[in-house]
Amino acid sequence: MKIGSIHTESPVFLAPMAGVTDYACRILCKEMGAGIVYSEFVSADGIIRQNQKTLHLIRFQEEERPIGIQIFGNSPEVMAKAARFVADKFQPDILDINYGCPVPKVTKRGAGSAALKDLHLMDEITAAVVQSVPNLPVTVKMRAGWNSTSIVVPKAGERLEKVGVKAITLHPRTAVQSYNDKADWSLIKELKQAVSIPVIGNGDVSAPYRVVEMFEETGCDAVMVGRGALGNPWFFKDSLALLHGKSPPVSPSVTERVEICRRHLDLLLEDRGERWGMNLMKKHFGWYIRGFPDAAKHRRALVTALELDEMKEELNVLENVAKKLVC
């Protein structure tokens, strides 16, 4: 599929997830077949102030391309300035606007999914961003609406296409639902029928077979995977295998999990240093280390490790356990 001038052979994308989709996570998913990867969402206010922690969230390596940088904010002027800064300084392949985050600290400021309460403001923000980066494809990730009485699909989609958005990702829950209840995939199909730009489906894609189901049920152009990929970068490889009619995937072995944990840890140490790398890796251990005998015991040892050597030694112990499980 194409988004503007950007072409990708894999129609399975990694969703932007705050506190998760940093360099280490993105590169592992890219190596496993993710067509496009996205940064964590980044504050437009932090960008224009050139806050260094904020700017670190945007930095990426060439091997991650094509990559989308996602920004959020409630002011057309600030969003336009931030978009121009990102385009000039970092030169990503795609700039994505967040109209989907349901977290109160974001929505109370009128950003994220709160923009769907006022489609005129949404129009103004989107148009300002599109005009500020004429050579960069602008996309949007959105919710179905603020609540069940204000579903804005497909009206918002038609308006976004009109102002120049090149693709729309729809998570078909409302902001009020957050991640509760079932995602209404029929809304993705409705959006696809209403616009001519690519539509990317998102929500409840919990396993690779669900990727196939979403394509079949909605007719979407690509599928964006979020929580399903936590502790499971193999998700992309397995999804592509199913899409190409190959045999159902086999769950990764404990040995494979240990190997990917080591790689993930090394990437985090390289990118964030020892202290931050260790702390960030602990939540990933919580996702990787499960589904086999005594997993909870080993997971607990990893997340409570105080020193890097202690963490690495526990991975060695787990590797030996994996060999015995095979035998």
Count the alpha carbons within 13 Å of 224 in the hemisphere toward its beta carbon: 25
The neighbouring-strand residues paired with 142 are 99, 170
- The token pair at 59 is 């930095």
The alpha-carbon radius of gyration of the chain (Å, integer) is: 20
Quote the pLDDT of residue 326: 64
Instruction: Provide the 10 A C-beta neighbour count for residue 324.
Output: 9
Quote the pLDDT of residue 250: 85
Residue 327: pLDDT over 60: no
Fold of 2-243: TIM Barrel (3.20.20)
Stated pTM of the model: 0.95
User: What is the chain's length?
Assistant: 327
Q: Catalytic amino acids? A: 101
Selection from 206, 214, 164, 213 nearest residue 187 by Cα: 214
Domains 2-243 and 254-326 share a fold: no
How far apart CA 75 and CA 80 sit, in angstroms, is 8
pLDDT tens-digit readout, 79-94: 999 999 999 999 999 9
For 38-62, what is the mean pLDDT?
Answer: 96
SS3 state at 225: strand
Instruction: Give percent above pLDDT 70 in the chain.
Output: 99
CATH 2.40.128 fits 254-326, yes or no: no
Residue 151: pLDDT over 90: yes
Locate the domains of the chain by residue range.
2-243, 254-326
For all residues of the chain together, what is the average pLDDT?
A: 96
37-38 and 2-3 beta bridge pairing: unpaired
